[in-house]
Structure 1
């Protein structure tokens, strides 16, 4: 009974994730870009809330890892915004919500969330730890690539010159590798089904507007 209820909750959460992302695609494609993009923080907060309960983040070790990745992501982005190192010269816009010294809190959250769900997706495979780490980091960079091409239009962030430099992707991959290693060392597992749907919903959303 409890197992059936748990599966039901996962399916509801997956449905909510797709509902919000598909609605945003339809709304933006229909000419309501500004209205929907201004709701980005709400969409991310809803996705985060579902992730915290469904993944779930329900033990001290998982909470520690989430906070660690959040702080690591925020610090890396702070270095990028203020000193132009790691990712290149860029600045955040106004559609990712409140900021800490120029870096949106949601960006740190996104680093943590993306680390967890990509690692969980690779748990569908029977690969060894090293290939899982590399492929999960690759999935993180792939989504970043899709996001980078939409970020200026959505007023998320803008790079000097208009396009993200190669160093942005190499740094993303390096940090993603580090975070994935830490996750494997801590032996953290989560809900694979929810993770893959949350990742794919975001990939579909940013991929739709890529071209």
Structure 2
């Protein structure tokens, strides 16, 4: 019988054992206020010492020892190792990650969604900073670009490159919102939604470029 108990429960257990004429060999080690271990064996012939004598002698740290014994040792903190050193010591090197995986359409569109979001945020910050801190305002710099007398195809190309992040982030952001609502989460729906969104992005991008 192995148990963790308080002093009252321990005394009740010993009384019950003595009343049933059973003889126990115990080794009791106490870490106040808990008794950590009690070991009991079947009764032996008369003349052997009973539970009471053994328990009494064991309670003050003397007397015979039972077959179950607990040794208490002071806690020693383990040597600190960082994550990489511990994994290398266990022969568990870090996975090569992206270098071993083929690119997939969901992963690539998700990465582009984040890149275009950063570009769109940069545009917004530059426009607001120009409005606040440029002495002549944004309009004067637009007029300066127009005075460069760029060709029509070059202007169209600049507009397409500038508007592509906005268009892409807008339409694929709608797809992310649909995912958050619990729809289009199967792999078939994810892959089938890519083509229509790319078409919508291209159409809107060229539409605003020719304005």
> Could you say which TM-score interval applies, normalised by the shorter chain?
under 0.3
TM-score scaled to structure 1, two decimals? Answer: 0.23
Greater Rg over alpha carbons, structure = 2
Relative contact order, higher structure (CA 8 A, sep 6+): 1
> Could you say which structure has the higher helix fraction?
1
